Each structure stands twice: as C-alpha cells, then as structure tokens.
Structure 1
C-alpha cells in the first residue's frame, strides 16, 4: 500500500517520514506534499491508499482537500493530524468520513497504530469486495446453467429430467416433481422503444426481475428461462395453495406493467396445472398455440383457448378479380388490407384462416397471370422468395407483404405494356418510395427496363425538369419540412434523405436556397 503525508511544515513531514516503521506496516511507498495543490497532483498521478493530513494549511485546509478526495477517490482512508483541539474540526472530519483524528504532537507509535487500523480496514473491504464480485460471478454462472438445463428439459432434448432436479438441489431449490406446477410462455411480440433490447441475456434478466418483483408470493417457487427467439418460460412450482384466478391476476399485472413501463407488447400462454415432469408436453402445446397467434394479439391465453377456433368469412374474390383485371390495383390493395384489419380487430385471424385466404387469393392471382401468359413458378422463383410465400400464413405482416408484392407485380405488367408517360409515373413512384436512400439513375432505369440515357431524356421531356434535379427537389422538400417542424440535428436530417456526406448536403441546400440548412432554420424561428 502507499501513503501520502500532507503538512505545510516540512520538518513535520520529514519527521513522520523518518520516524514511522513503514516496512512493518506493509507500506511500499510514501509520498510527501506541503500544500493541497501538490497533494492533488500526487493523488491524480499515483495510487494512494492512506492519507496523513494536516488540517490548517496556508493554501487550503486539509478538510477541503479531503472533501475533494472523497469525491474523486472515495476508497482512500484519511487520518487527520492537527495541533488544534478544536471540536468543530473533529466534527467536520468525521462528517466527511475521515478514518481517524489525532492531536499533534502525537507519538509515532500512535500514528503507527492508526495506520495499522487503516491497513486492516482496507484489507477487509477489499476482501469483501472480492468475495462479493466472486459470488456474483458464480451466481450468474448458476443462472446461466439453470437456463440451459431448463430449456433442454422443456424442449425434450437429451438432458434427463433427473439432471435438472439434481442441479436444482445443488443450488438449494427443493422441487417436488410430483407436486403441481403452472407453466406460462411469455412471448414479446413488439418492443415499442427507440432502442429495442436485442441481447437475449439482458432481455431475460429484465423480464426475470420484473416477474420476481410482481410475483412476490411465488418468489421462492419460481423458475425462469429462455426458450427461443423472444420467448421465455415461467414456471410457478408447488402451486397447490394458489387458485387459477390468483395466478391470472398476477399475469394480468405483469402484462400491464410490461406495457406501461417497458413498452413491451406481450402475449402469455398459460397451461393447465401439471406436475413438473409433464411440463415438456405442456410447452409443446403452448408453442403450437403461439403459432396460431398470427395476428400478434397481446394478452393472456389459456390452453385450448378460443384463439384457434375462429370462422373464415372470405371476401368477395370475384369482385377483386374483376377489379384487378380492370386495372384498379390501388383500390383492391386498400380493400385487401382493410379486410385483414377488420378480421384482426374482430379476433378472426389465425394460421388456418390465413392459409384458406392465401389459397383463395392465389387462385385469382394465377388466373390473371395466365391471362398474361406468365407461368406462376417463374414469379415465385425470380421475383418473390418462395419461403416468404410459404411463411405468409404464419404472420399477418407477411401476408400484407405478399399482397403488396402481388398487386405491384400485376400493376407492372400493365405499366410495361404502356408508353412513356406511365413509365415516368413508375419512376416517380420508385423515387418517392426510396427518397430516404441515395438512388442512382442506373438503379431507377433498371426498375423500368430502360436505358439510363434514354430515361433522362424522356423524364426531362415529360416532367420539364431533369431527373437529377427532380430527385434533389423532392429530397429538399422533406428537408425543409423537417427543418421547420422538428428539432432534429441537420446531420440527422441529411441522413434521413439519403445524404451520407453532411458537407455535400449543405452545399446542395445552399445552392438551391442561397443559405445553409442551419441558417434557414434560424431564419424561420
């Protein structure tokens, strides 16, 4: 350990330095200072464990110095030395957390005793800190291992049930496999936050802390583990003394708290009570039930809930077929999305319903493709991922994507058969959809199967403005709106409209408006 001696009298410093048996106290190095300015310099550049500090000094008191030390180096122990028997000094020293207070002239033996006490106290605190960190480390390792073993047990992987029971016993969790347990799957459907938690270990810790806090009656009878993706398992064991209604109240409180404080949209799937060894069968049933929740309904769903028992009322596909064949693509698109939204709001969406809807929709889609002499397999091999097609009935969002693709594809068939003006409309649509990116003329030309040079000439002829100037014009419209209506930094606004080079964005803006973006915002205030 290292010691710093501070006193404005050099002879006092020299006397303490030579009069103390530092080796016997296990002190490795002794620093000396005659004012608090030099003391701060030493403290800032060296490792110091104990201070021997005078109180009254010309350039600042020892109390002032220790107040600074307590803020920047709180682990340092300070022994105050003063020749004034002033109670207010002693009181202030103790209030600041001083370790000891000696009246000078104090015999070197008394100073040695005080230093020895400080050394022992530091050793004790460091040992406690070590064991605390050591214990936390192994506690975390235990929880990680428990997470893995529980997951393997619930997923019916190679681990034997006895393995998890033995491990629970080693960490002092006494679980009777013959007694009643309640298994709940917790599925995070959505994180409505600017910075969603992606780290699954952190996500598990957050949820486990919330669950442990809210399920206080079960604190000693609660297991928690990650299952897959953003799905977690909560096991309440030895629940014989709790009714289903009581468990339901706690689950409702958890879902509401997660929504209010974490901004998580959550679905809980709760199984009927069963003994511990039957939980792997229960979790499979709950996972199947989860797969039926394609509309991402939040709330609490009990085993064999009515979520999977919904009717399928098909829309008027004959009318849609006629409208699509007649070129009313956007009207049909809006009608399709509206139909799915109404079904979701009425609770009539599940995997089976989407599967039946998909079959009916593909029937009219293929009919229109056949009219254009296009093979269906070519569309889904080259234009749309076949796996995405198969997954479209697993999620209402994926179904929306398929419908958008299908309508856009049919629309492109008509556009490609029409002359210049319709192609320019398609170019404008593409620019608007990708206004937040840095799209090139070549990329745009590729979308309408045109030569880039010819596209530029045609665009100028139809729109009366060059293609590059039109893109800049549309981007700056958005920039103006954001400058006037938000407090976003100019650099963020530039990025939002596809300018990764901030200086270039400022140059373009100034060329059009005569002033910089910052000056424009200031002018509009």
Structure 2
C-alpha cells in the first residue's frame, strides 16, 4: 500500500483531496495531513510515507523549501506538486528538484480524479524498483560462462512468465525484479537456452535479451545488481524493438549516468527553442546527441522534457507558433526520440503556415526568450531589432504577426503575469516585485497592473489569497 501525505495550508483543499479521490483503487492510502512544510517534516519523521502531495505557496515553510529538505532527508520519497495555474516557474523548480508530477487545482474535477491517480501510480511504478532477494546471493559463480537476462521495459503492468522452457541440467533461474528474469546453464546447453529465450521475446512487451559475459568469479548478488543498474541506465538508451538481443560485458565501464550540469541543461533548452533543428537534419541530430550525451535517468529526463514543454506552451501556446503536447509516459529513449520526431514535424508544419522564413521565426523566438529571462531589463523593440540584425519596422511587424501582440504589449503582459506569481507566492513588497519585473516606479507599475487586470497589485494579492 502506497502511504500518502497531503500538505496544504487550506483545510478544505486537504479534506477534499483526501476524501474525494479513489485512493484504494490504486493501492494508495492517505495516512496524514499537514498545513505547512514544517509540520510535514515533523510527520515524515514520525511515520513512513511513500508519496507526498504538497502545495507550493504556504506560510512558515513553502513547498519548494519543503522539497529541498525532504529530498535530503528522504531521497526515496515521491513528490507531487499541488499548484495554481499561474505557478509556471515554481513548477519548473519543483520538477528540477525531483517532483514526479504536478496537479493543477483548477483542473481537479470529479471526472478527472481517476485519471490523475492513475497517472501518478504509473509514474511511481515506473521509477521504483521492486527489490527481490535472490537465494545464496553471496555465492560466487564459477561454473557458468554467460548469464542470460530477459528484461521488459514495460513497468505499467505485471507480466507472468508463462512459457514452458526445457529443463536444463544444473540450471539457475531467478526473477531479478518485477518483469526481469535471469538464467544460467552449463556451456553445452547454452545454444538451446538462447534460441528458446530469443523465440519467446514476443511474449513479453518491450523486452530485450541481454547476453551477459565476463560473469565468472562474480557473486550472484553482483550480477543481479549489475543487471538492475544496466536496465535503469544503459538499456534505456540501447533498447531498439528491431534488435532485441544485446551482448554486453560486465567489464563494461561506468554504466551510471552522471549528475547533469546546469550549463548542459541550458544548452539543450537553447537548442530546442531555436527553429533550425526542426527544419534541418544536421541541427536535429545535434540536438539528439546533446540529449543522449547527458545519459539522464528516466526521472531526470521526464523533468527536463516537462520543463521544456511547459515553457514552450507558456510562451507560444496562444500564438501562431502553436502548442506542443507532452509525452505522458515512456520506457526507453526509442520512445522519446519518436516523440521528438513527431513534435519537430508539428512545429515545422506550423512554421510553414506562416509567411516568414525559419530565420525570422527564430529571431522572434530569441527576442521572446531574451525578454522572458531578464525581466528586470527594459528592452525595447529598437534595441532588440538591432541586436538581432533586423530593421525595427520589420521586426515589429513580424513580432506582432507571430506573437499576436505588439512588442510593447507583449512586454507589459509578461511582466504583469510574472508579478502575479510573485504576489500570490511570496510575501515581498509591491516595490520589490515592481523592480523584479522591470519597473523602478512603484506607482507606474501599479497603474500598468490595474490597466491590464482591473485591480491594484495589493487588491489582486488579497483577492487571490482569499479565494485560495
């Protein structure tokens, strides 16, 4: 049973989520509630929790602060973020910290409860190894030349091994973990076992047969752990449904993925938001190589893809550049690359429906990214057009056609949208917020804010928190 803790400063939200959602149908049980991050940490110390649902904006200790602390104290804890739809940057930070999903409160309707829990349950199953001890795991293998492992990357469902294998003399057959099995037989019987296993691959979805060499003088525990680690790292990238047999040596180098550097993540994001990769094979292949070179774990890769899709849709969903759809689950890099290919085709088709070249579309995207990532600077259409080597009048025309707003309208809009997040999720002063979104005059900022929202910043904060 997956034990669940709900953390939200709104008692009605906590009670509603606890009582309304069909937890039992997904082998989940709500074992506690907390009204802020500090109380949540106290609860985590007192009893085990497998899954924590946490709000981001809370008194005493915010959800982001709670995630930082919980990640250090309880690295196995799964975290899902409860959020308002405006919390774009905070969701990105939560995903970077390891959240496996997020739930927008405004979308919590009865007909979606089952879908939300099914999605979370699927992700937990996909990121969690079922630990199964092998008998005599400290015994050293001295008799067997190879070990054969049939591994399924499908973590959504349980597969029962039903095929009848010919019994072999001195055969060792173990279940390594859920949906993963291993065999070892004397050398003179290996050919027969290999052909039987190869023929059985079509019985198990997304399966691969590993032929593992250099196994002698290793304990069975070492062999089992090597298979587990290989499955979670290298196999994720090596899997190909058209080539399901993979010879691999236990002498192979470090199979663990390294912690990605911020500059590597930023480089991938910059490449994604450039237009050329969707129009030219060479740039597409460079982007794919950048992804693969990081060797991210599945959870890390999911977080990166989520942040890319969310940022794209945040910037372009309401424009002629269009929305892109998230890949909701994947078990291998093969599936991820198929999704990237489809996404590239969709972006390319949208671009081709405009009257502008890929280079001009790329320039407008760059302008949007520059302004978005440095709101404190007072960028102008004239300055950016010069930086991008385009005439001011043509830049202004292209920008309005592609983004649906003039540059000045767009600049004001995104600054006000960012200020809304600050107002709802921080206790900072109006002057502090105004400076962070590029306004040095608090009164002028308040006037702009009221023109776009109909409310003063203080009224918006009071109303937003009151509704919450």
Structure-1-length-normalised TM-score:
0.28
Structure with greater helix percent: 1
Structure-2-length-normalised TM-score:
0.30
